[in-house]
Amino acid sequence: DVKVTQSSRYLVKRTGEKVFLECVQDMDHENMFWYRQDPGLGLRLIYFSYDVKMKEKGDIPEGYSVSREKKERFSLILESASTNQTSMYLCASNPSSGRVNEQFFGPGTRLTVL
Amino acid sequence: AQSVAQPEDQVNVAEGNPLTVKCTYSVSGNPYLFWYVQYPNRGLQFLLKYITGDNLVKGSYGFEAEFNKSQTSFHLKKPSALVSDSALYFCAVSQNSGGYQKVTFGTGTKLQVIP
């Protein structure tokens, strides 16, 4: 089974802090994604990566950056956390073969910024 | 641009009754359609997908979905609901965008199965 793990289930940070959310997948997937989930808005894509050191902006990248130094690890960075970044953050991965592939999700990190 | 709509925020159904969770989509080309389920405090789990072929797709936990091109719909169905089916359900649509399949998720429908 594919396993996607996220470093924290719950996180509380203060406004202005630098926050790191880590995601690791164990199935050698090329593609990795970061979403935020908010009630009534569904999932919105923040960034994705299709290879090591490669990244692309999603729909809402402002206030976030990412890092992918190794194939299995994709980090989301909040440079200076703000209260409007309080949300559930979901990491996902899938292979980039020619097939149409579903995404495999981690359990999520619920971030609260005070 | 692609989009997906889930018109119902919540669906209530009695245990043992059939359930339907609605989804409509908009894409410029051929759609790839997905359903995911999210149990409380968990990530999303894949249920089923439509790529091409038979319009009725069967998935996990007894769920199925019907692709209707003329109505641009992909409704999720189950003949007999269980209390354990209570969860948040997301419809998603994608199409190839270069080498990457851009996926757009709906806003989610909360399914409540009443004992």
**What does the buried/exposed string (b/e) look like for A54-91 if buried means 16 or more CB atoms within 10 Å of the residue's CB?**
ebeebeeeeebebbbeeebebbbebeebeeebbbbbbb
Question: Tens of pLDDT along A14-56?
Answer: 999 999 999 999 999 999 999 999 998 999 999 999 999 899 9
CA A47 to chain B, closest CA, distance in angstroms equals: 11
Q: Do residue B49 and residue A105 have CB atoms under 8 angstroms apart?
A: no
CA B37 to chain A, closest CA, distance in angstroms equals: 11
Q: Which residues of chain B are within 8 Å of residue A102 when distances are taken between CB atoms?
A: 34, 36, 46, 49
Question: Tens of pLDDT along A49-106?
Answer: 999 989 999 999 999 999 999 999 999 999 999 999 999 999 999 988 767 889 999 9
Position B97 confidence tier, pLDDT thresholds 50, 70, 90? low
Cα–Cα dist A107/B73, whole Å = 29
Question: Tens of pLDDT along B38-93?
Answer: 998 888 999 999 998 889 999 999 999 999 999 999 999 999 999 999 999 999 99
Cα–Cα dist B92/B105, whole Å = 4
CA B48 to chain A, closest CA, distance in angstroms equals: 9
Cα–Cα dist A35/A105, whole Å = 10
Q: Compare all CA atoms of chain A with the CA of B42 and give the residue at the minimum distance.
A: A107
Of B49, B100, B107, the CB nearest to A102: B49
Which residues make Cβ contacts (< 8 Å) with residue B71, sequence separation at least 6? B24
Answer whether residue B113 shows pLDDT above 60: yes
